[in-house]
Amino acid sequence: MRVPLKSLRIGVACGTLLLATTCRAVTEPQPAPRRYVRFIESLVAPSGLVRGRPNDNFTTAWKNALATMVFLHEGNALAAHGILDVFSGFQQAQGAAFRGVPQGWDAESARPVAQGDQPDANYYWVGDGGALLRAVQYYGVSTGDHQRYESLENALRDWLAARADECATIVAEGDANMYAALSAYANDPAIAPRLVKLRQCFYDGVQFDNIGDHTVRAALVFGDPSGFSHIRGLERTETWCVDGKTTVHAFAAFSGEPYVNLDISTELLLTWKLWKRQSSRDLAFLEREISQVELGGASDAGARGLPYLVTQHQFTKACSTSIVDTTAFMLFALWEWNPFSIDTRASVQ
């Protein structure tokens, strides 16, 4: 368990001129990981859930799973409790009627968004569920307490195992998230054949040339870095919407999107750092390119985060407001820590 870095470092610089000595206090910039952690900490709502971004109560189980892993990595079990207690309470309230964890949540009320006309397969999205189960497992590993969320873990495991039987109807990245989470139970005779099925479904749906996520999941989950030879067609260069002059060269999420996606770019950076010896590409430049677009705007003046995009698409202020997803994956890249294996291994396998 790691102890959080101190939030401020003070040094003293002294100089002497003709017997007169002058000293000045020097405030050093915070190390990048700490200011990113502080950004995610600043998004914690009174309910315990983490908002997706400043001044926006919408959040997801995925974002909260990422935040939980960040908090646990830094030894902040209290913040992890705040998140996991909400999902545990939801699961226990559902009891035998539990059908999975809703993807969308209101961070202020700690309640899931209304299902409306969404089918269960979308509303209870397995990609978020797999990440949440991984976060629960990491809680047990990092704290030694495997009982506090045992009921939630079992419910998530059983739900995802059942959905694994339908993996042919699920996109490849969802299959990979489920595989990573269920891999913890590989010795369970009910789970082992489902892992085989999930792996096959993932590769049946892989589109390395078109979807950056598939390169990430293939490497970090299945130990296959071959996607790196396919990502050149996803490279983009754009000028940042905030200042109109900063040029960012990174990657799109999909071949059909003509704009940079900083979230997938940080995921690719992490993947490359763990697989650089086997990669056909050198992606070291991404750390420099992405860090150019750090933003403040959190309640903590010392915090910095990263936006989702470089130019405006998809949702309001996507290029001018920091978001959990990109910031968390930049932290994982700086730590060279794999959230799918919940340690520093290059893959789950």
Enumerate residue ranges in the chain where pLDDT < 50. 1-29
On whether the CB atoms of residues 137 and 149 are closer than 8 A, the answer is: no
pLDDT of residue 2: 36
The string of pLDDT tens digits covering residues 310-320 is 999 999 999 99
Task: Determine the topology of domain 10-335 in CATH.
Answer: Glycosyltransferase (1.50.10)
The reported pLDDT for the residue numbered 30 is 56
Annotate 64-87 with b (16+ C-beta within 10 A) or e (fewer): bbbbbbbbbbbebbebbbbbbbbb
Write down the domain spans for the chain: 10-335
Residues 298 and 321: their CA atoms lie apart, in Å, by 9
Give the pLDDT score at 298: 83
Using the structure block, give the residue that is written with the tokens 């397969």: 121
At 209-267, the pLDDT tens digits run 999 999 999 999 999 999 999 999 999 999 999 999 999 999 999 999 999 999 999 99
User: Which of 300, 320, 298 lies closest to 309, judged by CA?
Assistant: 320
Supply the pLDDT for residue 6. 31
- Classify residue 303 by its DSSP letter: -
Contacts of 219 (CB under 8 A, 6+ apart): 225, 227, 228, 271, 274, 275, 346, 347
Helix or strand or coil: residue 36? helix
The string of pLDDT tens digits covering residues 170-199 is 999 999 999 999 999 999 999 999 999 999
Q: b/e for 118-156, b at 16 or more Cβ within 10 A?
A: eeeeebbbbbbbbbbbbbbbbbbebeeeeebbeebbebb
